[in-house]
A = this chain, B = another copy of it.
Amino acid sequence: MPRIAEVRLPAQPNSPQQQERVNRILRAAARQGAAHGLERVQMQEIAKESGVAIATLYRYFPSKMHLFTGVMRMQIGRIGAEVSQPADGTDPVDAVTDLMLAATKRMLDSPKLAHAMMTSNNAAFHATEAGAHETHLAFKGLILRAARIAEPTPRDEQLVRLIEQSWFGALNSALNGRTTREESEDDIRLSCRLLLPAWSER
């Protein structure tokens, strides 16, 4: 486990140059995390690969937890770009299933990185820190977009939670080798089909 509590607030990028630097850091962290996993990844190596000073890296990401929560946010953005807005008339259950399977593929293709992101994001929630809430909102936004729900009711919000929770459970099983990749994909398909029929009838 990385250290959880950090008092320093992370800096926010304010210019396009700073944003580009942060993006370089996140890409380097994703590569190094995929190769080495959370425990073995070195902040020093990530600074080196992204061509920034170690102090700069720590200014934006005071800990591995902040860094890999940031990587998770970047990955959610990529999934959002990759899974296009479904066409009119698409069954919301199918659209959400496609989204969840795309997210699953991205996670299971890099299991060490997936573990690093999930552990960090969990720790960040626990510490009410490091933008975990933004990550959550971004993922929720993708699910609602796939389902074409612009104004979610409290019940819709709860269904989003159920889908996220069962996805998290299925992914955790696959990452621990408790289920095969095919089983976890099947489990996600069936969860969507059983949990979301209310969205087909809206």
Contact residues of A with B, CB < 8 Å? 1, 39, 122, 125-126, 128, 136, 158, 161-162, 164-170, 172-173, 175-179, 183, 186-187, 190-191, 194-195
Contact = CB atoms under 8 A, between A and B. Distances in A.
B194 A173 contact: no
Contact of A158 (B166, B177, B186, B195): B186
Contacts of A176: 122, 125-126
Given A1-B1, A122-B172, A195-B195, 10 more contacts: A122-B176, A126-B175, A126-B177, A136-B178, A158-B187, A165-B170, A165-B191, A166-B169, A169-B172, A194-B195
Contacts of A190: 158, 162
A5 to B, nearest CB: 12
A1 to B, nearest CB: 5
A39 to B, nearest CB: 7
A66 to B, nearest CB: 16
A158 B39 CA distance: 33
A49 to B, nearest CB: 25
A51 to B, nearest CB: 31
Nearest to A178: B125
Given A158-B190, A195-B195, A169 B165 contact: yes
A161 B179 contact: yes
A198 to B, nearest CB: 9
A170 B170 CA distance: 12
A172 B168 contact: yes
A165 B169 CA distance: 4
30 contacts: A1-B1, A1-B39, A122-B172, A122-B176, A125-B177, A125-B178, A126-B175, A128-B177, A158-B187, A161-B173, A161-B179, A161-B187, A162-B187, A162-B190, A162-B194, A164-B169, A165-B166, A165-B168, A165-B170, A165-B173, A166-B166, A166-B169, A166-B191, A167-B169, A168-B168, A168-B169, A169-B169, A191-B195, A194-B194, A194-B195
